[in-house]
A and B are shown apart, each in its own frame.
Chain A
Amino acid sequence: MKVILILMMALFLGLSSVSAQEFTKSATVKPELVQQGEQKEWCPVCGMSIGMFYKTSHTSKIHNHQERQYCSMRCLAVDMQEHKIDVNDIKVVDSSTQKLIEAKSAFYVVGSDVAGTMSKVSKLAFADKEAAEDFNMEHGGKVVDFTVALKMAQDSLASDVAMVESKKSKQIYPMGQKIFEKNCKKEIDINAYLQINELKAGLKNKKLCGELKESELQPLSLYMWEVKRFGDVKNSDDVIKVTKDEKCPVCGMFVYKYPKWAAQIFYKESHFSFDGVKDMMKYYFEHKDGISKILASDYYSQKAIDATKAFYVIGSDIYGPMGNEPIPFMNENEAKTFSLDHKGQKILKFGEMTKEDIRKLDE
Chain B
Amino acid sequence: MKNKINLYIIEYAINSLLSQKYKTFFVTSVLTALVFLLSSLFFITNSIKYELNSTLEALPEITVQKIKAGRHYDIDISVVDEILEITGVESAIARVWGYYYFENAGVNFSIIGLDEYEEQYKNSFVKVAKELDFSKPSMIVGVGVKKIMDKNYYKEYFNFIKPNGTLKKVDITGVFSGDTELESNDVIVMSNESVREIFDMDKSKATDIVVRVANHNEISTIASKIKLLYPDSRVVTKDDLKISYQNIFDYKSGIFLALFVISLFTFFIIIYDKASGLSSEQKREIGILKAIGWRVDDVLREKFYEGFIVSFFSYMLGIIVALAFVYILKAPLLQNIFTGYSQLKTSFNLPFVLDVQTLALIFFLSVPIYIAAIIIPSWRSATLEADEVIR
Residues of A participating in the B interface, judged by any CB pair closer than 8 Å? 115, 163, 166-167, 170-171, 174-176, 178-179, 182, 216, 219, 260, 299-303, 318, 333-334, 337-338, 341-342
Residue pair B117, A167 in contact (C-beta under 8 Å): no
Given A175-B118, A178-B117, A179-B117, the answer on whether A338 and B87 have CB atoms closer than 8 Å is: yes
Whether B215 is near chain A, meaning CB under 8 Å from some CB there, is yes
Question: Chain A residues with Cβ under 8 A from B221's Cβ?
Answer: 341-342
Residue pair A302, B119 in contact (C-beta under 8 Å): no
Residue pair B214, A302 in contact (C-beta under 8 Å): yes
Nearest neighbor of B135 in chain A, beta-carbon distance? A211
Whether B281 is near chain A, meaning CB under 8 Å from some CB there, is no
Whether B60 is near chain A, meaning CB under 8 Å from some CB there, is no
CA distance A176 to B117 in the complex (A): 8
Residue in contact with B217 in the complex, picked from A171, A219, A260, A301, CB distance below 8 Å: A260
Residue in contact with B84 in the complex, picked from A167, A175, A182, CB distance below 8 Å: A167
Given A167-B84, A260-B215, the answer on whether A115 and B78 have CB atoms closer than 8 Å is: yes
Tell me what chain A mostly uses at the interface: helix, strand, loop, or mixed.
helix
What is the total number of residues of chain B having a CB less than 8 Å from a CB of chain A?
Answer: 20
Question: Chain B residues with Cβ under 8 A from A300's Cβ?
Answer: 87-88, 214-215, 218
Whether B250 is near chain A, meaning CB under 8 Å from some CB there, is no
Residue pair A167, B90 in contact (C-beta under 8 Å): no
Residue pair B117, A166 in contact (C-beta under 8 Å): no
CA distance A171 to B94 in the complex (A): 12
Question: Chain A residues with Cβ under 8 A from B91's Cβ?
Answer: 170-171
CA distance A337 to B218 in the complex (A): 12
Whether B89 is near chain A, meaning CB under 8 Å from some CB there, is yes
Residue pair A166, B218 in contact (C-beta under 8 Å): no
A84 to chain B, nearest CB (A): 33
Whether B388 is near chain A, meaning CB under 8 Å from some CB there, is no
A49 to chain B, nearest CB (A): 15
Whether B81 is near chain A, meaning CB under 8 Å from some CB there, is yes
Residue in contact with B85 in the complex, picked from A167, A175, A216, A338, CB distance below 8 Å: A167
CA distance A163 to B88 in the complex (A): 14
Question: Chain A residues with Cβ under 8 A from B85's Cβ?
Answer: 163, 166-167
CA distance A305 to B87 in the complex (A): 17
Question: Chain B residues with Cβ under 8 A from A333's Cβ?
Answer: 87
Please name the 4 residue pairs, one residue from A and one from B, whose CB atoms are nearest each other, closest first: A300-B88, A337-B87, A178-B117, A302-B214
Question: Chain B residues with Cβ under 8 A from A299's Cβ?
Answer: 215, 218
Q: Which residues of chain B in 115-167 are interfacial with respect to chain A, using CB atoms and an 8 Å cutoff?
A: 116-119
Residue pair B117, A175 in contact (C-beta under 8 Å): yes
CA distance A170 to B217 in the complex (A): 20
A179 to chain B, nearest CB (A): 5
CA distance A334 to B87 in the complex (A): 6
Question: Chain B residues with Cβ under 8 A from A337's Cβ?
Answer: 87
Question: Chain B residues with Cβ under 8 A from A302's Cβ?
Answer: 214-215
B376 to chain A, nearest CB (A): 46
Residue pair A171, B84 in contact (C-beta under 8 Å): yes
Residue pair A216, B87 in contact (C-beta under 8 Å): no
| Per-residue A-contact encoding for B298-324, CB less than 8 Å = 1, 0 else | 000000000000000000000000000
CA distance A303 to B215 in the complex (A): 10
Nearest neighbor of A220 in chain B, beta-carbon distance? B117
Q: Which of B80, B89, B117, B218 has the most CB of A within 10 A?
A: B117
A327 to chain B, nearest CB (A): 10
B75 to chain A, nearest CB (A): 15
Residue pair A318, B117 in contact (C-beta under 8 Å): no
Residue pair B214, A174 in contact (C-beta under 8 Å): no
Residue pair B88, A166 in contact (C-beta under 8 Å): no
B17 to chain A, nearest CB (A): 49
Question: Chain A residues with Cβ under 8 A from B81's Cβ?
Answer: 167
Residue in contact with A170 in the complex, picked from B78, B90, B116, B215, CB distance below 8 Å: B90
CA distance A77 to B159 in the complex (A): 52
B384 to chain A, nearest CB (A): 58
CA distance A301 to B221 in the complex (A): 15
Residue in contact with B89 in the complex, picked from A163, A170, A216, A338, CB distance below 8 Å: A170
13 additional A-B residue pairs with CB within 8 Å, beyond A170-B91, A178-B117, A302-B215: A166-B85, A167-B81, A170-B84, A170-B89, A171-B80, A171-B84, A171-B92, A178-B116, A260-B215, A260-B217, A300-B88, A300-B218, A334-B87
Residue pair B117, A219 in contact (C-beta under 8 Å): yes
| 22 A-B pairs (CB sep. < 8 Å) | A115-B78, A163-B85, A166-B84, A167-B81, A170-B84, A170-B89, A170-B90, A171-B80, A171-B91, A171-B118, A175-B118, A176-B117, A178-B116, A299-B215, A300-B88, A300-B215, A301-B215, A333-B87, A334-B88, A337-B87, A338-B87, A342-B221
Question: Chain A residues with Cβ under 8 A from B78's Cβ?
Answer: 115
CA distance A300 to B81 in the complex (A): 18
A276 to chain B, nearest CB (A): 14
CA distance A299 to B78 in the complex (A): 27
| Per-residue A-contact encoding for B210-239, CB less than 8 Å = 1, 0 else | 000011011001000000000000000000
Nearest neighbor of B119 in chain A, beta-carbon distance? A174
CA distance A178 to B90 in the complex (A): 17
Residue pair B214, A216 in contact (C-beta under 8 Å): no
Question: Chain B residues with Cβ under 8 A from A179's Cβ?
Answer: 117
CA distance A126 to B333 in the complex (A): 74
Question: Chain A residues with Cβ under 8 A from B90's Cβ?
Answer: 170, 301
Question: Chain A residues with Cβ under 8 A from B215's Cβ?
Answer: 260, 299-302
Nearest neighbor of B81 in chain A, beta-carbon distance? A167
CA distance A299 to B222 in the complex (A): 14
Nearest neighbor of A169 in chain B, beta-carbon distance? B84
Question: Chain B residues with Cβ under 8 A from A260's Cβ?
Answer: 215, 217
CA distance A299 to B88 in the complex (A): 8
Q: Which residues of chain B in 69-87 are interfacial with respect to chain A, using CB atoms and an 8 Å cutoff?
A: 78, 80-81, 84-85, 87
Nearest neighbor of A303 in chain B, beta-carbon distance? B214
Question: Chain A residues with Cβ under 8 A from B119's Cβ?
Answer: 171, 174-175
Q: Which of A176, A300, A334 has the most CB of B within 10 A?
A: A300
